[in-house]
Amino acid sequence: MIYTLHRYIFSDLLKTFLIATFVLAMILGLGLMLGPMRRLGIDPVKVPELFLCTLPMTLVMVLPISALLSATLNYGRLSADNEIAACRASGISILTMIYPALILALIVGVATLLLAFHVVPYFTQHFENILQQDSKALIFRNIEKYGNLNSFSAKMKRVKIAVDHVVPEKDLLINVAGIKLDQNEKVVSHFTAPEMYVKFRKNKAGQSEVVLQTYNTRHADKTMSGSGDVDIVFPMASMWKDDIKFKRLEEMQEIRRDLTLFGPIKTKYLKTIAQMRKEYFFQWVNEKFQSPSHSLDLYHGKDRIRIRATACEMIVPPPIKKVAKSGEVKETEAPITSAVVTFLGGDVIVEQYFPERPDRWSKLYVAKNVTFKINMEKSKPNLISNIQLNNVQFTSGNDDTSSIEKMDLSGYVMPSEVVDPFKLTSLNELLASETVPPLNETSAYFKNKLLSSLKKQCGRLLVGINVELHSRLAFGVSCVVMVLFGAALGIYLPSGPSLSAFGLSFLPAVICMATISTGKHMAGEFNNTQLEDNMLQGLLFMWSGIAVMIIANLKLYGILLKR
Is the pLDDT reported for residue 219 higher than 70? no
Report whether 272 contacts 433 (CB < 8 A): no
Q: How far is CA 141 from CA 128, 156, 307, 472, in A?
A: 18, 15, 53, 37
Count of positions (residues) in the chain: 563
Of the CA atoms within 13 Å of residue 115, those in its CB half-sphere come to 20
pLDDT, mean of residues 1-16: 88
Alpha-carbon gap, residue 409 to 130, rounded angstroms: 46
Closest CA to 278 of 317, 326, 224, 318: 317
| pLDDT per residue as tens digits for the range 527-557 | 555 667 778 888 899 999 999 999 989 998 8
The mean pLDDT of the chain is 79
Instruction: Tell me which H or E stretch contains 95.
Output: helix 94-97
Q: Give the pLDDT confidence score for residue 113 in this predicted structure.
A: 92
Burial class (CB in 10 A: 0-12, 13-18, 19+), 374: buried
Q: Give the pLDDT confidence score for residue 27 in this predicted structure.
A: 85
| pLDDT per residue as tens digits for the range 97-154 | 899 999 999 999 999 999 989 898 888 888 777 776 666 677 777 666 665 555 555 5
Alpha-carbon gap, residue 153 to 71, rounded angstroms: 46
Report whether 200 contacts 119 (CB < 8 A): no
> Among the listed ranges 124-133, 165-174, 233-242, 445-454, which one has the minimum average pLDDT value?
233-242
Task: Count CB neighbours of 104 within 10 A.
Answer: 25
Alpha-carbon gap, residue 319 to 465, rounded angstroms: 35
Instruction: Tell me which H or E stretch contains 308.
Output: strand 303-308
Q: Give the pLDDT confidence score for residue 224 in this predicted structure.
A: 42
Q: Give the pLDDT confidence score for residue 544 in this predicted structure.
A: 92
Positive/negative CA dihedral, 437, 441, 443, 444: positive
Domain ranges of the chain: 2-133+458-562, 153-235, 264-432
Burial code (b: 16+ CB inside 10 Å, e: under 16) for 499-533 equals: eebeebbebbbebbbebbeebbebbeebeeeebee
| pLDDT per residue as tens digits for the range 354-401 | 887 778 888 888 888 899 888 765 556 677 878 888 888 777 665 555
Paired with 163 in beta bridges are 176
Amino acid letter, 408 = D
Is the pLDDT reported for residue 410 higher than 50? yes
What is the three-state SS of 199-267? EEEECCCCCEEEEEEEEEEEEEECCCEEEEEEEEEEECCCCCCCCHHHCCHHHHHHHHHCHHHCHHHHH
Alpha-carbon gap, residue 171 to 140, rounded angstroms: 9
Amino acid letter, 349 = I
User: Averaging pLDDT over each range in 151-160, 252-261, 532-541, which range is the top one?
Assistant: 252-261
| pLDDT per residue as tens digits for the range 448-494 | 788 888 888 888 888 889 988 999 999 889 889 989 988 888 888 76
- More confidently predicted of 498 and 233: 233
120-133 and 135-146 helices, crossing angle to 10°: 70
Positive/negative CA dihedral, 284, 290, 293, 298: positive
Alpha-carbon gap, residue 126 to 239, rounded angstroms: 12
Alpha-carbon gap, residue 55 to 512, rounded angstroms: 22
**Residue 315: alpha-carbon gap to chain centroid:** 32
Alpha-carbon gap, residue 312 to 374, rounded angstroms: 14
Paired with 367 in beta bridges are 348, 392
